[in-house]
Amino acid sequence: MSIVQYLLAAALAQLGHMPEASEAAAAGRRLDPNFTVARFREGARSSNPVYLQQREHIYEGMRKAGVPEG
């Protein structure tokens, strides 16, 4: 599953482990080259403000890891 690689990339980037974050993002791209932060954002399943705030943190990590914005 590519989403696991992208979430790992986001977490690693937020922790400052950039080489590992880049590797995880690259693995995600190999599995799903069309994945973008925008596409992931569209998949939000709730309008709960806490949930959306937590997702913003994930989007930020994905961007840091080099996941395309889309």
Count of domains forming the chain: 1
Question: pTM for this one?
Answer: 0.92
Q: What does the DSSP 8-state code read for residue 15?
A: T
- Give the domain range for residue 16: 2-65
Q: What does the DSSP 8-state code read for residue 48?
A: -
Neighbouring residues of 27: CB distance < 8 A, sequence distance ≥ 6: 5
Q: How many residues does the chain have?
A: 70
Provide the pLDDT for residue 1. 77
Residue 46 lies in a domain: yes
Residue 44 lies in a domain: yes
Residue 33 lies in a domain: yes
Residue 5, both tokens: 């690689």
Residue 70 lies in a domain: no
Residue 26 lies in a domain: yes
Residue 43 lies in a domain: yes
Residue 29 lies in a domain: yes
pLDDT tens-digit series, residues 31-43:
999 999 999 999 9
